[in-house]
Amino acid sequence: MEMRYVGEIKDPIHGFVNFTTLEQKVIDTPILQRLRRIKQLAGAFYTYPGAEHTRFPHSLGVMHLAGLVGQVLFSQEAVEEIDLELIRLAGLLHDVGHGPFSHIFEDVLERRGKTVTHEDLTERLIKESVISDILSKEGFDPSVVANISIGRPRNKKERFLSQILTGSFNVDIMDYMKRDSYYTGVEYGSIDIERLVSNLRVYENIIAMDKAALYSLESFYIARYMLFKAVYFHRTVRSAAVMIAKALSLADEYLHFTSFKEIDDFLMLDDRSITEMILRSEIDHQDFKFAQKLLRLLDDRILMKCVFETFLHHDHPFYSKLILKPKFIESVVESIAEYADIDPLLIAVDVSSVPSMPYKPASSKEGKALPVLVSSLDGKKELRSLFNLSPMCSSLRGFVDIARVYALPEVKDRVAQAAKRFFGEAPTSLKVSY
CATH number, domain of 49, equals 1.10.3210.10
Length of the chain: 434
Number of independent structural domains in the chain: 1
Lowest pLDDT segment from 88-102, 132-146, 314-328: 314-328
Average pLDDT of the chain is: 89
The dihedrals phi and psi of 10, each to the nearest 5 degrees, come to -80, 125
Query: How high is the pLDDT of residue 366?
Result: 36
- Go through 184-222 and write b for each residue having 16 or more CB atoms within 10 A of its CB, e for each that does not: bebebbebebebbbbbbbbeeebbbbbbebbebbbbbbb
Quick check: 243 pLDDT over 80?
A: yes
List beta partners, residue 207: 202
**Rounded average pLDDT over 372-376:** 89
Radius of gyration of the chain (CA): 23
Model pLDDT for residues 28-72, shown as the tens digit of each residue:
999 999 999 999 999 999 999 999 999 999 999 999 999 999 999
Which residue would you say has higher pLDDT here, 260 or 376? Answer: 260
182 inside domain? yes
Quick check: 428 pLDDT over 70?
A: no
> For residue 318, what pLDDT band results from cuts at 50, 70 and 90?
low
Residue 11's domain spans which residues? 7-233
Query: How high is the pLDDT of residue 358?
Result: 30
Lowest pLDDT segment from 47-51, 114-118, 199-203: 114-118
324 inside domain? no
209 inside domain? yes
> For residue 226, what pLDDT band results from cuts at 50, 70 and 90?
confident
14 inside domain? yes
Model pLDDT for residues 319-347, shown as the tens digit of each residue:
566 665 667 888 899 999 999 999 999 99
Helix (H, G, I), strand (E, B) or coil at 244: helix
Query: How high is the pLDDT of residue 379?
Result: 78
Query: How high is the pLDDT of residue 122?
Result: 98
Q: Cα–Cα distance between 245 and 104 in angstroms, integer?
A: 6
Residue type at position 145:
V
358 inside domain? no
* Cβ-based neighbour number of residue 343 at 10 Å: 12
Task: Report CA 10 to chain centroid distance, whole Å.
Answer: 24
Quick check: 276 pLDDT over 80?
A: yes
92 inside domain? yes
What is the DSSP-derived secondary structure letter of residue 54?
Answer: B
Query: How high is the pLDDT of residue 57?
Result: 99
325 inside domain? no
- DSSP code string of 178-209: HHHHHHH--STT---HHHHHHTEEEETTEEEE
> For residue 356, what pLDDT band results from cuts at 50, 70 and 90?
very low
Query: How high is the pLDDT of residue 427?
Result: 53
What is the percent of the chain with per-residue pLDDT over 90, rounded to a whole number? Answer: 74
Which residue blocks in 112-170 are alpha helix, DSSP H? 118-128, 130-137, 142-150, 156-166
User: What are the respective helix, strand and coil percentages of the chain, to the nearest 5?
Assistant: 55, 15, 30
**Rounded average pLDDT over 388-416:** 86
Query: How high is the pLDDT of residue 361?
Result: 27
Quick check: 367 pLDDT over 60?
A: no
Are 375 and 211 spatial neighbours (Cβ–Cβ below 8 Å)?
Answer: yes
- Strand pairing report for 371-375 and 206-210: parallel
397 inside domain? no
> For residue 387, what pLDDT band results from cuts at 50, 70 and 90?
confident
Query: How high is the pLDDT of residue 261?
Result: 87
Phi-psi region of 42 (alpha: psi -120 to 50; beta: other; left: phi over 0): beta
Q: What's the whole-model pTM score?
A: 0.92
Which residue would you say has higher pLDDT here, 102 or 322? Answer: 102
Query: How high is the pLDDT of residue 6?
Result: 97
**Rounded average pLDDT over 78-91:** 97
